[in-house]
Structure 1
């Protein structure tokens, strides 16, 4: 049962991530995007540590310190790289390049370093999802292709792909809750200097508190805990492709909550995104029913 639910846990995590943009729309105007990113990691890390202490399931035996540091650095780097890319080259291009490149980079990393070759189904579903993502953002704004912004966005995509791949090795030997609690606490420490660089007075307002709690607890703490639990039974390349449900959720929330307009091309992009994700989930369910889930070193079901 847990194996069948794993893709849906990752999908649910991506949906929670998709609420980030809508939530930030309600943040005070003085809140800098990078400061919001640092705050969400800090709140998320504290929340996860409290949950671990309350439940009492912290496992520190034989903990891989180097791997944990790499995972936390990957997550910490993602925040400033992504927000910088968006500020330089725009929301549409920055988001598409960062989120769209992550599945491809993840698949290539698995292929080159883990010798796990993604299946044709994965390539088809990833292509459909990325194409859908491109079409979804086609009407957002005028296209501004800034080389530095593209590099930053690719760096963000690589950071997320690395975080996913490294975290998967951690959750194989330790509880998902312990992994995300440690990783996000360290990530928050790496980004803590930003809390002193930018104006943080906004966090004391009612809107600031609400935004910080929603982003930190729901869109970070709970979301990445679900993501980590799903990674136990899902390859990293598949998980990153399923995470493309994030822009899908953000677009739909923008339409229904913020009154944004989507043209026919964008709605077709939403359809392709849902089709690509649906194919991947269907493929994973079929592969498990036929041969079960393999170990990380020989996964060929995705």
Structure 2
């Protein structure tokens, strides 16, 4: 009896730790908006490319022994590695562009709400995971909560734009087209985030060490980002390191959310499905909102607080003890 109980309890504890690791990663990612607030006129693309690029290469460096130990497996899965790396490259470019075009609230909501849906669809198409009723309930609560927070932020911090005729006179897209483009990019960001999460989990299921899987994906993507967009943005937007504050933000983004956060996320993916991991990252806007209130000084109306409560219920459902794996 004791042995049987231990065999049952160990996977449950492992799954619980995996869920907590993903929540920890989402907590770190939720600090990026507040950190970027202290940047002085720095392009969000420059910050994102530098953070994801250098953070990815640091992951590869730390995972070097694991990558070498799994080199044969990685070479056998080179198509998965390249596909996952492409998704990692696309994700920050689409995400930051979405926020720039559609606004921070809409861009973040579209991306975060799309990710768990995309992960579930991809797992149904390319895997054998069955989604539970609790997953569907928590997804509905989580998306409703994020949308409420976005509606609250949009109402409280409306964006002032130039009239359509003035934009047309300058030869620029209208505000409606920019927002539509931002929404499309947000969907792309959510899908690519779900895709590389699923690819990393698939590599782990095939015997690749978690650090080797994440390190290989983010290492290849990091080289591409720094060699391509990262360097070009540094030349065209040198303000990334123009002040001590900007430099501190850039280094923080690299070392904490992108490096430490993705190490925790990779650990969590070892024991839980990608669809559950992406759902747990709904914790990110909750953290971002709380930091915006306590540090930046923003205001959240009752609708926003209700949305935060729904997200909290969603997360409780997902991390409760003995919650069945997706």
Structure 2 length normalisation: TM-score? 0.82
Q: Deviations over 1:153-189 (max 9, x none)?
A: 1111111110111111123322222222222121122
Alpha-carbon distance in structure 2 between the residues aligned to 1:49 and 1:165: 19
**Which residue of 5, 22, 25 corresponds with 2:34?**
22
Q: Distance in 1 between matches of 2:204 and 2:284?
A: 22
| Partner Cα distance (2:24, 2:308) in 1 | 17
Cα distance in structure 2, aligned partners of 1:202 and 1:157: 26
Does residue 259 (structure 1) correspond to residue 297 (structure 2)? The answer is yes
**What is the alpha-carbon distance in structure 2 between the residues aligned to residue 57 and residue 108 of structure 1?**
30
Matches within 5 A, 1:1-302: 1-29=13-41, 31-53=42-64, 56-58=65-67, 59=69, 60-63=71-74, 64-141=77-154, 142=158, 146-172=179-205, 173-192=207-226, 193-195=228-230, 196-197=232-233, 198-203=236-241, 205-282=243-320, 285-287=321-323, 301-302=325-326
Unmatched segments (≥5 aa) in structure 1: 289-300
Q: Counterpart in 2 of 1:295?
A: none
Higher helix share: 2
Q: Is the 8 Å Cα contact of residues 171 and 229 (structure 1) preserved in structure 2?
A: no
What RMSD over aligned residues (CA atoms) do the two structures have, in Å?
1.8
Is the 1:92–1:137 contact (alpha carbons within 8 Å) kept by the matching residues of 2?
A: yes
Determine if contact 1:81/1:153 at 8 Å carries over to the other structure.
yes
The question of whether the paired residues in 2 share the 8 Å contact of 1:171 and 1:228 is answered with no
Q: Distance between the aligned counterparts of 2:152 and 2:223, measured in 1?
A: 37
SS state of the match for residue 286, structure 1?
coil
Distance 2:125 2:66 in 1: 35
Shift in Å, 1:216: 0.9
- From the CA coordinates, give the structure whose radius of gyration is larger: 2
Q: Distance in 1 between matches of 2:288 and 2:260?
A: 17
Q: Which residue of 2 aligns with 1:292?
A: none
Quickly say closer, same or farther: Cα 1:95–1:103, change in 2 above 3 A: same
Number of aligned residue pairs: 285
Cα deviation 1:78-133 (Å, max 9, x = unaligned) = 11111111111111111111111111111111122224331111010011011000
* 1:25-55: CA deviation from partner (whole Å, max 9, x where unpaired): 11221x21111111002221232234335xx
